[in-house]
Structure 1
Amino acid sequence: MAAATKPTIVIVPGAWQLPNAWDEFRAVLARANHQSYHVALPSVGGTELPLTGLAEDVAAVQHVVGGLADHGDEIILLCHSSGGVVGSNAVQGYDRATRQAAGKVGGVVRVVYLSAFMLPVGKSLMDMLGGQPLPWMIVDNDRVTGDPAQMPEIGFNDLPADEKAYWATQVTWTSAALFASPSQFAPWNNGIPCSYIFQTIDNALPLNLQQSMAQQIQAAPNPLEASIDAGHCGFLSMPGALLGALKDVIGGN
C-alpha cells in the first residue's frame, strides 16, 4: 500500500463522546482528501470491569497508529479535550523521527491539540482540575459523567437549541481511572512538532486554560497555533472552519 499523499488524521477523542460526534468532520476531511481514523477509547463507555484507564487508551491509539505507520503513512494526531493526555503518551516511540532512526517507515509527524489538555509528566487530569471534579462533573464510583442539566451549555453552547439538546443526549461515561492516571510523556519536550487550536468560547475548557497549557508547545520544533470562534466541539458547530485551522497548523496540506 502506497503512503498517503496527504497526512492521515488520527482522531484521539475526549471524554464522554461517542464516535458519531466526529462523523461530519470526518466527512469534511474526506472531501479534502485526508484519510481519517477515529480511535474508540476503552475508557469511554467501557463495560468490562474494572474500567480501564490511560494505559489502555494509549494502547488503542498505538494500535491504530502503528498499523498506519507500517504502511508508510505520515500521521497527524488530532487530540480533543482529555484526548490530549492520551495522544501525548501514545506518540512515544511512534513519531516519524524515532521510527526512521529504527529503520522504519511512516509515523506521527505532528500532534495537534484541539481545546485539549497538555499535562506535564507526572501530573494527572484531576491534578489539572485542582484535585477535584468540576461542578458539572458527576462522579459515581468508577465512572464520571457530565451533569445532563449543564451539558448542553458546557459542551455545545454554540450549537442551535435543537442540536444542543440532541448532542447532550449522545454522551456516555468515562472511567474515573483516566482522570487519576499521571501522564508519562510530553512530546513537546522530546523533539516532536506540536500545534494548538484554540476554541475561543469553550465553556468546558476555557480559553485562558487552553492558552496557559499551550505555552508548552513553544518548546517543540516549529510550534503552530490557530483559533476558531467555537465552543468545546468545533467539529460539530463549524467543521469547515476547523478544517481551515487544521490546515494552518499542519503546514497547509
Structure 2
Amino acid sequence: MSAPTRPVLLLVHGAWHGSWCWEPVRTALVDNGWRVESVDLPSVGPAAGDRPGLHDDAKAVRAAIDAVDGPVVVVAHSYGGAPVSEGAADAPTVQHLVYVTAFQLAPGESLLGAAGGQPPPWWRIDGDLFSPLTPHEVFYGDVAPEVADAAVARLRPQSYAAATEQLLAAAWESTPSTYVVCEADQAIPVFAQEAMAGRAGHVERLPAAHSPFLSHPADLVRIIEAAARP
C-alpha cells in the first residue's frame, strides 16, 4: 500500500491582517516538507462600493479549498474561524480544522453576537468599516516590539459586514477540529475561547497572547502538524 497523501495546509488570517502574518509558521512548515497555501480575505482593505462581508470571505475560503487537488487541513486565526466554518462546510476534501484562538461559531451566530452584541471598546467603527484602536496591546502583547511595530503598520481596515453577517453553515459540525486556546489573549477572553473550544474534538493550549504565529511559531507548527498527520 502507498503511504497516505499529506494534506495541503491552508492558512486563513484574522481580521485586519493578511496572509503575511503567517510567514514564520509558513516558512517552518515548508521547511518540514508541507505544501502550504493561504487566503487573503476580501473583506480586509476593501475598495469603494459594496463592501465584501463574511459570506464573501467564506466564498474565498471555499475557492481556495476547491483549488487544491487532494486533502486539505484548514487553519484559521481569530475572525478567520467564521469564514472557514462556513466556507469549508460540506467540502469533501477537508480533513481537519484548526481554530487558533478563533471564532468557532454555529449557524446563525455572528462575530458581533459572539462579542455580546456590542462592539468591544477597542473597535473603532467608521461607517461601514472597522479597525482596532490599540493593536499593540490587544494583539501583540508577547511579540518582540520591532515585530509588533511592523505588524501594526500592515494592518488594514475591514468591512463591518464581516462582523455582523451570520454564519450560514458550520463545517466543524461534521469535520474533526482542534481548538488552540491562547491563555494570555487580550482580544478574545479565555472564557470565550474555552466556550468555543467545547465545540472542538481536541483542545491545545499555549501561553500566548492573540498572535502565536509571531510569538510562538514553533509551538503552533507542532500543533498544526499533529492535526494534519494521519
* TM-score normalised over the length of structure 1: 0.85
Indicate the percent of aligned positions where both proteins have the same amino acid: 28
Query: Quick one: distance in 1 between partners of 2:71 and 2:211?
Result: 25
What CA distance in whole angstroms lies between the structure 2 residues aligned with 1:49 and 1:237?
Answer: 36
Secondary structure of the residue aligned to 1:134 is coil
Residue 248 (structure 1) shift: 3.1
Q: 1:6, 1:33 within 8 Å by CA — same for their partners in 2?
A: no
CA distance in 1, matches of 2:172, 2:132: 30
Question: Cα deviation per residue 1:99-148 (whole Å; 9 max; x = unaligned)?
Answer: xxxxxxxx10011101000112111111111112111110000101011x
Structure 2 letter corresponding to 1:86: P
Q: Is the 8 A contact 1:196 1:249 kept in 2?
A: no
Matches within 5 A, 1:143-162: 143-147=129-133, 150-162=134-146
- Map of 1:86 onto structure 2: 83
1:41 partner amino acid? L
User: Secondary structure, in 3 states, of the residue corresponding to 2:64?
Assistant: helix
Give me the CA root mean square deviation.
1.6
Rounded to whole Å, the distance in 2 between the matches of 1:250 and 1:67 is 18
Task: Give 2:218's aligned residue.
Answer: 240
Paired position in structure 1 for 2:50: 50
* Alpha-carbon displacement from aligned partner over 1:46-88 (angstroms, at most 9, x marks no partner): 11411111121111111111010xx2x2100101101111000
Contact 2:183–2:206, Cα closer than 8 Å, also in 1: yes
Q: Residues 225 and 249 of structure 1 are in contact (CA less than 8 Å); yes or no, is this contact kept in structure 2?
A: no
Contact (CA 8 Å) 2:96, 2:227: kept in 1 or not? no
Are 1:76 and 2:73 an aligned pair? yes
Q: How many residues get paired?
A: 228
Say which SS state the counterpart of residue 75 (structure 2) adopts.
strand
Gaps of 5+ in 2: none
Kindly provide the amino acid, as one letter, of the partner of residue 19 in structure 2: P
Deviation at 1:93, TM superposition (A): 2.4
What CA deviation, in whole Å up to 9, does each residue of 1:143-201 have, x standing for no partner? 01011xx2101100001222222222220011001111001112232x21111111111
> Which residue of the other structure, out of 170, 181, 185, is the alignment partner of 1:198?
181
**Bigger relative contact order (CA 8 A; separation at least 6):** 2
